[in-house]
């Protein structure tokens, strides 16, 4: 039985305006998209959403938010108004009337950290902590007391079978004096249990003494190149590790997981993603953590209900990368290239800048990768048809990434390789047109601009007025010809595409100011923001022939918002996902009134 969705607000990510019409799904593909009214579905009972007694029952093995009885799937019984009957006796279509709810292609988050995001969904979010003492107490309440005081406490029933205490998204910019955390605050609550907590940028970890003991880290441990181990006046590590090389000294042991745990975490992540309308993700490595083998096991059992496009670390040998490209090439699990780090972040003073930081005269930071090695790797990847996704936040790092891509194109000619630069928190104005010239996708995260209030944004301390106007750009990059693809960078920010769209459209901070938005010239329209959450990420993944738009023949990945998202921008943040369809199957139905 085919599913037919009816809505007065369908946005196909092709045009610039939504339209009223129908979407017919046959199997796992879109069969037809009809604009306006049609006689084709006359005589078919329309079942409004939320559910009616005449809906088809579906058993979907998801968490409590999913209503198994609400799916309209042709693999189970039909409960009709006359009684129960066999699906074969029913009409050839099942029409679901969605009213004025906005229907879009399935949302694609082009930049997430899959396993860390999975763990975040099952652990503690520390962003609201106003001091390191409060953050440590939140960890204690969650792990030792099992209380609901920790943010996102609904995760407490998804406890991890591990001795480690794990938390995410503490932000010392919210703490008195912006002080860095210390091991003593954690030792107070966890003297004998290892703790690791990631900061809100995933560029630093905070650990206790037990963790350092287990990892063999002490006063004599050398600081790795490209990383920072914070030390006290006696040279003892304080428990603060900055940037990947230093973080990996503790994450290797802390994040070691059994195959069963890996699969459990990914399933938890899929449940959360489905509840947000997300059907595909770009899973980029951080700290060399990739779980593509766990995804393959789930795929082989028919349990991978999401498209995962993954990018391991760029230090990988090119032969291994080519093997991954060959082995992982399905519509649900695909190698998409290699991911590398050119620098850290400006907010951590590890962003590589063209000019010195405003509050640190003479200091520009430095790249995390040797420029010559980066040039060599870029040429090697380009020659072999492998895309690269380079993290570059500072304007000098963005320039270096573009130089590397440009050098490869100059040597080997123009190829259809979708390289990307991740984040682009600051860009020099001379480099803006180079994105389009090198066919480089701007992979940006609109929610990264958000802090509680613009007047406390640390960027104003670090950057002069000219660079502030070139920070966290959006629309200008697109107007200069670049393909712009949105993501969240989860778990650095919440896995919330509505927030992504809202920040892209309004450029407002956490307190919803300024009303006109920060650097309002960078605002997108709602249509552009949805397109950059669907069609352009599909282009980045080289899947635009199968994903990203609502067209006949495309895979039936569809998101239904709980309201008309085009109507009222100011109330957009109250929008939820009402229904998510993945590969033709309803995998999430909120049953919203």
The DSSP code sequence of 28-45 is TEEEEEEES--STTTTPP
2-106+580-589 belongs to CATH 2.30.40: yes
Radius of gyration for the alpha carbons in the chain, expressed in angstroms and rounded: 24
Integer Cα distance of 551 and 490 in angstroms: 29
At residue 115, the pLDDT reads 86
Cβ atoms of 389 and 338 closer than 8 Å: yes
Please list the pLDDT of the chain residue by residue as tens digits (593 residues). 789 999 999 999 999 999 999 999 999 999 999 999 988 887 666 666 654 333 333 332 223 233 333 333 333 333 333 334 444 445 577 899 999 999 999 999 999 999 888 888 888 999 999 999 999 999 999 988 764 444 443 344 455 657 899 999 999 988 998 899 999 999 999 999 999 999 988 889 999 999 999 999 999 999 998 899 999 999 999 999 998 889 999 988 888 878 888 898 899 999 999 999 999 999 998 766 778 999 999 999 999 999 999 999 999 999 999 999 999 999 999 999 999 999 999 988 999 999 999 999 999 999 999 999 999 999 999 999 999 999 999 999 999 999 999 999 999 999 999 999 999 999 999 999 999 999 999 999 999 998 777 877 888 889 999 999 999 999 999 999 999 999 999 998 899 999 999 999 999 998 889 999 999 999 999 999 999 999 999 999 999 999 999 999 999 999 999 999 999 999 999 999 999 999 999 999 998 55
What pLDDT score was predicted for residue 252?
Answer: 83
- Helix ranges (H only) for 388-483 are 395-412, 432-437, 459-462, 465-468, 475-479
Residue 8 sits at φ, ψ, to 5 deg, of -90, 5
Q: What is the DSSP string of 413-452?
A: -------EEEE--B--GGGHHHHHHTT-EEEE-GGGG--S
The pLDDT of residue 48 is 67
381: tokens are 């990847």
Domain 124-159+163-254 = CATH 3.10.310.70: yes
**22 touches 42 (CB < 8 A):** no
Structure tokens at 534: 């669907």
Topology of the domain comprising 259-547: TIM Barrel (3.20.20)
- Measured CA to CA, the distance from residue 94 to residue 80 in angstroms comes to 12
Sheet holding 420-423, edge to edge: 338-341, 388-392, 420-423, 441-444, 484-486
- Residue-wise DSSP of 382-399: HHTT--EEEEE-SHHHHH
**CA atoms of 508 and 523, how far apart (whole Å):** 10
Show the tokens assigned to 80. Answer: 């009709």
**Omega cis (within 30) before 50:** yes
CA-CA distance, 383 to 129, in Å (whole number)?
48
What pLDDT, on a 0 to 100 scale, did the predictor assign at position 551?
98
CA distance 34 to 19: 10
CATH 3.10.310.70 boundaries in the chain:
124-159+163-254
Q: Which residues of the chain form CATH 3.20.20.140?
A: 259-547
Query: Which residues on adjacent β-strands are paired with residue 85?
Result: 78
Q: Is residue 449 classed exposed, middle or buried when 0-12, 13-18 and 19+ CB atoms within 10 A define those classes?
A: buried
CA–CA distance, 274 with 254 (Å, rounded to integer): 28
Written as one string, the DSSP assignment of 240-308 is EEESHHHHHHHHHHHT---HHHHHHHHHHHHHHHHTTTEEEEEEE-BTTB--HHHHHHHHHTT---SEE
- In the block, tokens 């190829």 appear at 415
413 within 8 A of 435, measured Cβ to Cβ:
no
Q: Is the peptide bond before 514 cis (omega within 30 degrees of 0)?
A: yes
């Amino acid at each position: 039985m085919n599913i037919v969705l009816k809505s007065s607000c369908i946005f196909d990510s092709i045009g610039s305006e939504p339209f009223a019409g129908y979407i017919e799904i046959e199997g796992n593909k879109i069969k037809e998209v009809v604009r306006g009214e049609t006689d084709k579905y006359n005589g078919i009972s329309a079942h409004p959403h939320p559910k009616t007694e005449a809906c088809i029952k579906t058993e979907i093995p998801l968490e409590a938010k999913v209503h198994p009885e609400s799916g309209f799937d042709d693999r189970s019984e039909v409960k009709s108004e006359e009684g129960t009957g066999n699906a074969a006796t029913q009409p050839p279509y099942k029409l679901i009337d969605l009213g004025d709810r906005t229907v879009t292609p399935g949302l694609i988050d082009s930049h997430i950290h899959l396993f860390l995001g999975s763990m975040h969904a099952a652990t503690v979010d520390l962003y609201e902590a106003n001091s390191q003492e409060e953050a440590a107490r939140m960890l204690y309440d969650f792990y030792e007391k099992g209380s609901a005081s920790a943010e996102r406490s609904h995760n407490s029933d998804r406890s991890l079978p591990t001795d480690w205490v794990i938390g995410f998204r503490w932000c010392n910019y919210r703490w008195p004096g912006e002080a860095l955390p210390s091991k003593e605050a954690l030792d107070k609550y966890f003297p004998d249990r290892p703790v690791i907590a990631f900061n809100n940028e995933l560029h630093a970890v905070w650990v206790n003494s037990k963790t350092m003991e287990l990892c063999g880290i002490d006063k004599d441990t050398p600081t790795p190149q490209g990383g920072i181990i914070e030390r006290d006046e006696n040279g003892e590590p304080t428990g603060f590790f900055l940037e990947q090389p230093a973080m990996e000294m503790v994450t290797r042991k802390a994040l070691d997981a059994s195959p069963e745990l890996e699969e459990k975490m990914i399933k938890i992540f899929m449940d959360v993603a489905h509840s947000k309308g997300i059907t595909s993700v770009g899973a980029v490595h951080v700290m060399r953590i990739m779980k593509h083998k766990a995804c393959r096991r789930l795929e082989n059992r028919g349990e991978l209900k999401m498209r995962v496009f993954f990018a391991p670390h760029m230090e990988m040998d090119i032969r291994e990368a080519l093997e991954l490209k060959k082995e992982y090439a399905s519509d649900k699990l695909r190698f998409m290239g290699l991911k590398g780090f050119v620098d850290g972040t400006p907010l951590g003073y590890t962003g590589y800048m063209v000019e010195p930081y405003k509050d640190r005269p003479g200091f520009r930071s430095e790249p995390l990768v040797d420029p010559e090695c980066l040039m060599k790797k870029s040429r090697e990847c380009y020659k072999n048809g492998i895309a690269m996704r380079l993290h570059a936040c500072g304007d000098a790092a963005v320039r270096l990434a573009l130089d590397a891509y440009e050098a490869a194109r100059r040597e080997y000619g123009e190829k259809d390789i979708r390289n990307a630069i991740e984040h682009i928190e600051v860009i020099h104005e001379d480099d803006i047109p180079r994105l389009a010239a090198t066919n480089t996708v701007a992979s940006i995260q609109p929610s990264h601009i958000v802090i509680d209030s613009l007047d406390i944004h640390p960027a104003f301390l670090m950057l002069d007025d000219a660079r502030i106007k070139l920070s966290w750009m959006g629309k200008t990059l697109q107007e200069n010809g670049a393909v712009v693809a949105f993501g969240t960078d989860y778990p650095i920010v919440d896995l919330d595409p509505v927030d992504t769209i809202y920040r892209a459209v309004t450029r407002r901070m956490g307190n919803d100011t300024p009303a006109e938005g920060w650097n309002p010239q960078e605002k997108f329209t709602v249509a552009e923001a949805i397109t950059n959450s669907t069609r352009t990420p599909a282009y980045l993944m080289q899947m635009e022939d199968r994903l990203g738009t609502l067209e006949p023949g495309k895979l039936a990945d569809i998101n239904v918002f709980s309201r008309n998202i085009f109507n009222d921008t100011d109330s957009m943040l109250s929008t939820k996902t009402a229904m998510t369809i993945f590969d033709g199957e309803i995998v999430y139905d909120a049953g919203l009134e």
